[in-house]
Amino acid sequence: MKKIGILILLFALYTFLVCHFSVITEWDKNIIIFVQEKMSNLPDWTINISGQKLYDVMLYIPMIIGGIYFAVKKHYLNGIMLILSPYIAYWFNLFFKGLINRPRPPLELQIGTHTATASYVSTHTMMMMCLWGLIIFYMNKYCKNQTLKFSVNTFSVVWILLSGFNRIWLGVHHPTDVIGAYILGLIFILIYVRMAKFDLNSQ
């Protein structure tokens, strides 16, 4: 609980700074411009492939595979947590966004269109952080094949980072929105890990 408490305090302080110091938003805009300039020479398909369809694939496939695995192993609580974790993150995120109500980056920085919801914290990033962070935890707990464990864990970390970078590149989130999502997502993961200890079948 101590780690969770420290992270909650860190997140509260971070949120206060992001919301009350306009210079941070200016830094965010400059970072978005820098990233988009560096990525501008890439072909159009790189932008299209990083859209919502890819997020859906990276959300549902591990949920289905993990859900089936835990059902077969009768680790029901773990299976439920894996499947529900991104949705819990989603609904909490919507509530939190409405509470903070930070505007998104200017439209001229946004590549493509996005719903006119608030910006802080990034929903996509937080959902992927929670889901793939749990996958890392479960791979370390259950997988005995070291090559498979290393491969999945490496892929998970890369995908978590890319999912946040993508939101910055597309200009639909401030970089600080993404960092906030990582911190908040880590808090959720630590809570899920504590809950997993109550799954008697996982011992």
Taking only the tens place, the pLDDT of each residue in 153-182 is 999 999 999 999 989 998 999 999 999 999
pLDDT of amino acid 202: 46
Mean pLDDT across 180-194: 93
Q: Yes or no: say if 82 and 68 are a contact pair by the CB < 8 Å rule.
A: no
CB count within 10 Å of CB 159 equals 18
Mean pLDDT across 81-110: 91
State both tokens at 16. 């206060």
Q: Yes or no: say if 182 and 114 are a contact pair by the CB < 8 Å rule.
A: no
Q: Yes or no: say if 108 and 38 are a contact pair by the CB < 8 Å rule.
A: no
Taking only the tens place, the pLDDT of each residue in 32-61 is 999 999 888 877 666 666 666 788 889 999
pLDDT-derived band at 203 (thresholds 50, 70, 90) equals very low
pLDDT of amino acid 111: 83
3-state SS string for 9-42? HHHHHHHHHHHHCHHHHHHHHHHHHHHHHHHCCC
Interior/surface letters 160-193, b for 16+ CB within 10 angstroms, e for the rest: beebbbbbbbbbbbbbbbbbbbbbbbbbbbbbbb
Closest CA to 189 of 77, 70, 85, 100: 85
State both tokens at 111. 């590549």
pLDDT of amino acid 201: 46
Report CA 141 to chain centroid distance, whole Å. Answer: 21
Kindly list the distances between the CA atom of residue 85 and the CA atoms of 90, 95, 180, in Å, as whole numbers in the listed order.
9, 16, 17
Q: Yes or no: say if 13 and 19 are a contact pair by the CB < 8 Å rule.
A: no
State both tokens at 83. 């499947």
State both tokens at 29. 């805009």
State both tokens at 121. 């914290």
Peptide bond into 121 cis (omega under 30): yes
Q: Yes or no: say if 126 and 181 are a contact pair by the CB < 8 Å rule.
A: yes
pLDDT of amino acid 195: 79
pLDDT of amino acid 138: 92
pLDDT at 90 over 70: yes
pTM equals 0.90
Per CATH, domain 2-202 is 1.20.144: yes
